[in-house]
Amino acid sequence: MLSAATVLSIFNWCAVFICILVFLSIFLIIYKCRQELRDASLLLTCNSCFATLLTCVTMWIMTSSNLFTGFLLYNMKFCVAWGVFYDIFECAIYFSYCLQAFYRLCRIVFYTKKFLTSFSLNFILIICQWLLIFAFLIPPGFINWYARLPTENFCLIPYTSVIPEIYHILVLYLIPLICIGTIYIWITRFMRQTSQASTLVIAVIQRQRNQRDLTVIKRIIMLIGVLIVLRFPTIIFMIYAIIVGHTYSLTYGIVGVTTSTCLIFIGFSTIYTTPQLRKRIHDYFVHGNNRVQSERIAMNQVGAPISVIDAINTAHKTKQEVSTTAKNIP
């Protein structure tokens, strides 16, 4: 009979694999509508999806090592490097949503400064985001913070290491969430003030644009809630490990299942909150149904003349038979 840890690992392995398929499908859709890639908002969405996909792939490899032969442990330097990359990619998810929040701030509050929402500036910000994350999270890989976990076949920072985990939670979790929360509070207050202003101060077009952005912001805040849940079990189990002195046996299995479930939700929510992706999928299904109906109509139209011709031929044959019969009558 399988142990609880093995069952959690199998479930996590399957969930992460589904998540990989979801994000590969998103990139396939983006590739098909790549003429819209010059849109800065879609570029930022691609950045978030890319970070999430890399996180899923890293998780899938780590879970595979845990389920099968423990191949990550054959070389401890490689094992540590894989743990560092997992934290880097997960951190990139949070900071990518910081960039999305900053983009919305520039669109709504600083809408007169068009260069802040330009494609080139946001591309540079994405590069700076990745460099900043590497600068924060690569050094811990060289100071023996990462180690093989006692209950798993991969390497991460143990929850019993207080100072490394505090640094880890601060950089990966608290800083980006505080930035995101501050930006959206700023946007909400600005929109509330402008809604009370007269139409002479704010143009009608800008108000409509703000309403569209508000709808997107509500959906993104939903994603932020998922990001909070994504790391919340880690904090709970870390506090437990510090108090008790050792980690709960199913800690990493529960954290892994929570993470994979949240990442799947992020994938589907990304499709729902991104107009370009949602429109592309909608057009695919709608046009697909219309194409099938058109083919059916075309087949029916082709069949109509054939039926008429058959009726004419039948009538002609009947006429010949009647004439032959009339000649044979004495």
pLDDT in tens, the chain (330 residues): 678 888 888 999 999 999 999 999 888 888 776 655 567 888 898 999 999 999 999 999 999 998 888 899 999 999 999 999 999 999 999 999 999 989 988 988 888 888 888 989 999 999 999 999 999 999 988 888 999 988 888 999 988 888 988 898 899 888 998 998 898 888 878 877 766 554 555 556 666 666 766 676 676 677 777 777 777 888 888 888 888 878 888 888 888 888 888 899 888 888 887 777 777 777 766 665 555 455 455 444 444 443 433 444 554 554 455 444 444 433
* Rounded Cα–Cα distance for residues 159 and 237 (Å): 7
Number of H helices, E strands in the chain: 9, 2
Q: For the chain, which domains are there?
A: 4-277 (1.20.1070.10)
Torsion of CA 73, 77, 79, 81, to 10 degrees: -170
CB 25 within 8 A of CB 270: no
pLDDT value of residue 276: 73
Joined tokens for residue 259:
């993470």
Is the CB of residue 82 less than 8 Å from the CB of residue 108? Answer: no
What does the alpha-carbon distance between residue 224 and residue 226 come to, in Å, rounded to a whole number? 5
The reported pLDDT for the residue numbered 326 is 40
Task: Enter the pTM of the model.
Answer: 0.79
pLDDT single digits (tens) 13-66 = 999 999 999 999 888 888 776 655 567 888 898 999 999 999 999 999 999 998
Structure tokens at 243: 């108090």
SS3 3: coil
**Containing H/E element for 156?**
strand 155-156
Q: What six digits make up the tokens of 257?
A: 């299942």
Q: 222: which 2 tokens?
A: 């939903």
Residue 205's pLDDT is what?
64
d(CA 330, CA 217): 95
Residue with the two structure tokens 């509500």: 218
